[in-house]
Structure formats: C-alpha cells, structure tokens
C-alpha cells in the first residue's frame, strides 16, 4: 500500500533529510586513505546521534553496520569492516536515518584521492541518471517513467543498470511501496501523485549488470569485477514541484 504523507510529515522529513546531507558531507570529508570503513561507520553513528536520530540500517534483518559502505566493484550493501581505504577507491555510502517515526535515505559516491577517467565517467553518468529520474518524478507521470529515464541515461552512456535492487517509497517505514526499478517502459506502473515520498537510487556498472552476493548475505558486487556506482536522494512529490529532501 502506498502511504501518502501530510505537509507536516514532509516538512519534518525535509529537516531530517538536510541533516542527513550534512552527515554524509562530514563522512566524505573525514574519509582518508588508511581509515577503516568500520571507523567511518562509527563516525556515521556518532553524527547521527548528535541530531537525535537513529541509524535505521543497524540491526535491520541482522545488518551489522550503521550504514552501508561499498567500494569499487561492490555496488550496494557493503558491510563496514577492518578494510582500510586506499588511494583510488570509489566509495559509496548509503545511510538511512529515522527520527519521530519518519525515515530518509541518501547515498553519495566519491573517490579517495583524484578519480580516474573511468571513475569520473561512471560517477557523472550515475549523477545524471539520478537527476533525470528526479526530474520526471512529478504528478501525472508513472513509476515506469522514472525507470525509463534512468535506464536511458545509463545505457546510452555504455553502462548497465542493476536489476536485482531497486528504489522504493519511504517515510513512515524505511521501505514502502512502490518499488522503483531503474529500468522500465514509459507510461507504465503506478501513477505518481502528490504526497508520495520516494527514494530514487540509480545503481549502475561499467560492465555487465549481473551481481553476486557474498557469503555474508549482504555484500552485492559485480560478477565481472568491474566498477560500479550508486547515488540516491529522497524526494517529496508536491502539487507543483518535486522537492529533494536530502540535500543542504
């Protein structure tokens, strides 16, 4: 069931989303070669606590981290660990926070040190796909329109869209209806209406879209070992505009 949000709920989610954006900005600034991803996760936990929120991923279906930290060929659900960041790593941090029964979700991707040409390219494609997906998420359009917009940007750039994982509704729960695939046909699927709050999140790869799940049951990496990228915003659909909630 799709849960439409009130203006008051959206206002609270917007404040929380801005705080999440600042937390992710802090994590990007703090991330340095030699730091473990577990230490970065600890910083995420402490920064989240400072704003009176909870790390929604922690303990979710047994997930051990406070946020997901995925590197290079790992596209999503990377578990923070003793693995030290290295110059040249492409880092994706996916963080969901909750306060007063409301959730927001965002993912940033960046490199440790200067990016390679391949990293620059895949991050630019992912960023553009996210922007196009958000732009089409307005009343009168469909969930299929979002997926088609994302897929068109990604595949026209020679990259591939991950099929196994999708975006989703969010707000009163971390995962709500509707599911939002990053592929699809225009003018199909659920109609977008005011009051929807959606997590739009392109997950892309420079090679094949096939992933493999590690023995830990979480870490999803590209089967061919090639580079991947993940970016995400939570947005609110209003009568006359769509507002990105997870930006400063």
pTM over 0.85: yes
Nearest 10 degrees: CA dihedral of 122, 147, 130, 210? -30
Residue 190's pLDDT is what? 98
Rounded CA separation 243/248 (Å):
12
CA separation for the pair 14, 241 (Å, rounded) = 14
Domains, in order of start, for the chain: 7-244 (3.90.230.10)
What value does the mean pLDDT take over residues 58-83?
Answer: 99
Share of the chain above pLDDT 70, in %: 100
Report which of 222, 230, 242 is spatially closest to residue 182, judged by C-alpha positions.
230
Per-residue pLDDT band for 125 (boundaries 50, 70, 90) equals very high
Q: What is the pLDDT of residue 220?
A: 99
Q: What would the mean pLDDT of 118-138 be, rounded to a whole number?
A: 99
Q: What is the pLDDT of residues 203-232, one digit of tens each?
A: 999 999 999 999 999 999 999 999 999 999
> Phi and psi dihedrals of 143, rounded to 5?
-60, -35
Instruction: Give the pLDDT mean for 46-50.
Output: 99
Radius of gyration of the chain (CA): 17
Phi, psi values for residue 33, rounded to 5°:
-60, 135
The pLDDT assigned to 173 comes to 99
Average confidence score pLDDT of the chain: 99
pLDDT of residue 7: 98
pLDDT computed for residue 84 by the predictor = 99
First to last CA, the chain: 30
Q: What is the mean pLDDT of residues 123-145?
A: 99
pLDDT at 102: 99
């Amino acid at each position: 069931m799709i849960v439409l949000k009130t203006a008051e709920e959206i206002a609270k989610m917007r404040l929380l989303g801005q705080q999440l954006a600042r937390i992710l900005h802090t994590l990007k600034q703090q991330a340095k070669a030699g730091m473990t991803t577990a230490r970065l996760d600890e910083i995420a936990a402490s920064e989240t606590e400072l704003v009176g929120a909870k790390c929604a991923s922690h303990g979710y279906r047994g997930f051990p981290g406070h946020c997901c930290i995925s590197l290079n060929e790992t596209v999503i659900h990377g578990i923070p660990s003793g693995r030290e960041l290295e110059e040249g790593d492409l880092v994706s941090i996916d963080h969901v926070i909750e306060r007063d029964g409301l959730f927001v979700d965002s993912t940033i991707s960046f490199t440790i040190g200067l990016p390679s040409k391949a990293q620059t390219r895949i991050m630019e494609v992912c960023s553009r796909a996210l922007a196009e997906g958000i732009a089409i998420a307005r009343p009168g359009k469909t969930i299929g329109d979002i997926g088609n917009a994302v897929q068109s940007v990604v595949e026209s750039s020679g990259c591939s869209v991950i099929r196994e994982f999708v975006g989703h509704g969010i707000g009163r729960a971390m995962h709500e209806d509707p599911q939002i695939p990053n592929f699809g046909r225009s003018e199909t699927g659920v109609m977008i209406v005011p009051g929807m709050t959606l997590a739009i999140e392109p997950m892309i790869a420079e090679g094949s879209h096939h992933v493999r799940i590690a023995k830990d049951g979480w870490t999803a990496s590209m089967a061919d070992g090639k580079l991947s990228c993940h970016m995400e915003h939570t947005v609110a659909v209003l009568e006359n505009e769509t507002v990105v909630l997870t930006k400063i």
